[in-house]
């Protein structure tokens, strides 16, 4: 176990201060950068897609995991991002300009949603975001002159600064660049006043308010940041799918995002990434199982959603902190070996809260 002897305040705000963290992150980065060298195209594009979902997951994590605002409408931002970008570049707008414009648009739409959502809590917020999603999905389907409706919209190939980046490995590196940017940015946010205000609103709006946090504005900001990042994921998803259709961005996609961050572990950036890994790897494992299992079981229709559901239920029952929680325990076990006890992570029940003013 490494005990840090902190001598400067910088030690507390730095990233990756422990040697173990540096080694682990270094290894993951080395793998990610080298992946196109040894992965087949199929697995590489799966990995690409994973990165896109991880970005979307981080977007939703900022809102739900860090600000405590539930949203079942995040697929809408994925959709707005994908369509806006596809339409812009098909009109000849350069990639970089289009990405920025799309993120700004998504951010503004997110802020508008946040403005109306900032007075809502719990179920009402969930229903409102769901309604927003249905609205956007319908809009994407019915605004035929812009989106070509349910017939679908072909996304032009990726071209950055004149260079055509259509190959799988090229798109992969673009995605990698953006996810690193988003991870560092999100981590920055949560070591600075803005992110702390998000946490404050999540844990107690009452005392956040009395300490000078403008709760409504924080929620609007959080919606904006979250929507902009999810919109960025939408941009990358558009290139990944290369053909857009409104029903892709429906309720199921929203649930998938929500499930990702819950199973991954709410309240950590790593959790969003873990969640993305899970939902990307699970279908591959299930399709592998299909071949291994006897045909009577393996070929049953509905096996895939069933297994998917069972695994998620098991997670929620057995590890409410999500994959991130499990990871923390494993890490703690090795770091403090042989002192780890099961009770190390048993939390006391929180004190009874009465007279809470919402």
Binding site for other proteins (CB under 8 A): 9-10, 12-13, 185, 188-189, 191-197, 199-200, 202-204, 206-215, 221, 224-225, 267, 347-348, 350-357
Min. distance of Cβ 57 from other proteins in angstroms? 18
Q: Is 238 exposed, middle or buried (0-12, 13-18, 19+ CB in 10 A)?
A: buried
**In this complex, which beta carbon is closest to other proteins, that of residue 10 or of residue 291?**
10
**In this complex, which beta carbon is closest to other proteins, that of residue 225 or of residue 258?**
225
Q: Is 187 exposed, middle or buried (0-12, 13-18, 19+ CB in 10 A)?
A: middle
Min. distance of Cβ 108 from other proteins in angstroms? 13
Report how far residue 34's alpha carbon sits from residue 116's, in angstroms, rounded to the nearest whole number: 45
**In this complex, which beta carbon is closest to other proteins, that of residue 13 or of residue 180?**
13
Min. distance of Cβ 225 from other proteins in angstroms? 6
Structure tokens that stand for 297 in this block? 């079981």
Q: Of 22, 208, 231, nearest to 107 (Cα)?
A: 231
Contacts of 191 by beta carbon, 8 Å cutoff, 6+ apart: 13
Contacts of 51 by beta carbon, 8 Å cutoff, 6+ apart: 172, 175, 176, 178, 179, 236, 276
**In this complex, which beta carbon is closest to other proteins, that of residue 193 or of residue 320?**
193
Report how far residue 84's alpha carbon sits from residue 73's, in angstroms, rounded to the nearest whole number: 17
**In this complex, which beta carbon is closest to other proteins, that of residue 74 or of residue 202?**
202
Min. distance of Cβ 226 from other proteins in angstroms? 11
Min. distance of Cβ 100 from other proteins in angstroms? 13
Min. distance of Cβ 204 from other proteins in angstroms? 5
Are 182 and 57 in contact, with CB atoms under 8 Å apart? Answer: no
**In this complex, which beta carbon is closest to other proteins, that of residue 36 or of residue 107?**
107
Q: Of 307, 303, 254, nearest to 282 (Cα)?
A: 307
Min. distance of Cβ 312 from other proteins in angstroms? 23
Are 18 and 2 in contact, with CB atoms under 8 Å apart? Answer: yes
* Alpha-carbon distance values, 19 to 26, 27, 71, 88 (Å): 10, 12, 37, 45
Neighbours of 299 (CB within 10 A): 10
Min. distance of Cβ 353 from other proteins in angstroms? 6
**In this complex, which beta carbon is closest to other proteins, that of residue 138 or of residue 207?**
207
- Can you say how many angstroms the Cα of residue 291 is from the centroid of all Cα atoms in its chain? 31
Helix (H), strand (E) at residue 137: helix 122-142
- Identify any residues that bridge with 154 across adjacent strands, giving them in sequence order: 243
- Identify any residues that bridge with 244 across adjacent strands, giving them in sequence order: 153
Min. distance of Cβ 54 from other proteins in angstroms? 18
- Can you say how many angstroms the Cα of residue 94 is from the centroid of all Cα atoms in its chain? 26
**In this complex, which beta carbon is closest to other proteins, that of residue 51 or of residue 266?**
266
């Amino acid at each position: 176990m490494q005990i840090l002897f902190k001598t400067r305040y910088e030690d507390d705000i730095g990233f990756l201060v422990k040697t173990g963290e540096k080694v682990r992150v270094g290894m993951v980065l080395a793998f990610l950068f080298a992946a196109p060298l040894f992965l087949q195209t199929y697995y590489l594009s799966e990995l690409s897609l994973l990165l896109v979902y991880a970005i979307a997951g981080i977007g939703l994590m900022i809102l739900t995991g860090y600000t405590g605002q539930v949203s079942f409408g995040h697929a809408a931002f994925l959709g707005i991002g994908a369509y806006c970008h596809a339409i812009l570049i098909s009109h000849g707008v350069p990639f970089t300009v289009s990405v920025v414009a799309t993120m700004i648009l998504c951010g503004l739409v997110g802020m508008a949603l946040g403005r109306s959502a900032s007075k809502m809590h719990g179920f009402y917020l969930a229903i409102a975001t769901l309604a927003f999603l249905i609205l956007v999905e319908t809009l994407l389907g019915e605004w035929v002159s812009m989106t070509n409706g349910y017939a679908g919209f072909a996304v032009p190939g990726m071209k950055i600064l004149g260079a055509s980046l259509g190959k799988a490995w090229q798109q992969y590196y673009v995605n990698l660049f953006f996810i690193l940017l988003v991870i560092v940015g999100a981590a920055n946010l949560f070591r600075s006043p803005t992110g702390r205000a998000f946490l404050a609103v999540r844990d107690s709006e009452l005392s956040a308010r009395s300490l000078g946090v403008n709760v409504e504005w924080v929620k609007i900001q959080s919606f904006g940041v979250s929507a902009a990042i999810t919109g960025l994921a939408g941009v990358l998803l558009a290139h990944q799918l290369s053909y857009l259709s409104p029903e892709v961005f429906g309720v199921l996609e929203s649930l998938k995002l929500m499930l990702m961050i819950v199973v991954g572990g709410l309240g950590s950036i790593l959790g969003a990434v873990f969640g993305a890994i899970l939902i990307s790897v699970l279908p591959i494992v299930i399709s592998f199982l299909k071949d291994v299992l006897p045909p009577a079981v393996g070929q049953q229709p509905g096996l895939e959603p069933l297994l998917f559901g069972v695994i998620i239920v098991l997670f929620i029952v057995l590890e409410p902190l999500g994959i991130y929680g499990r990871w923390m325990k494993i890490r703690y076990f090795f770091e403090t070996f042989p002192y780890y006890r099961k009770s190390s992570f048993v939390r006391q029940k929180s004190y009874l809260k009465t007279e809470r003013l919402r």
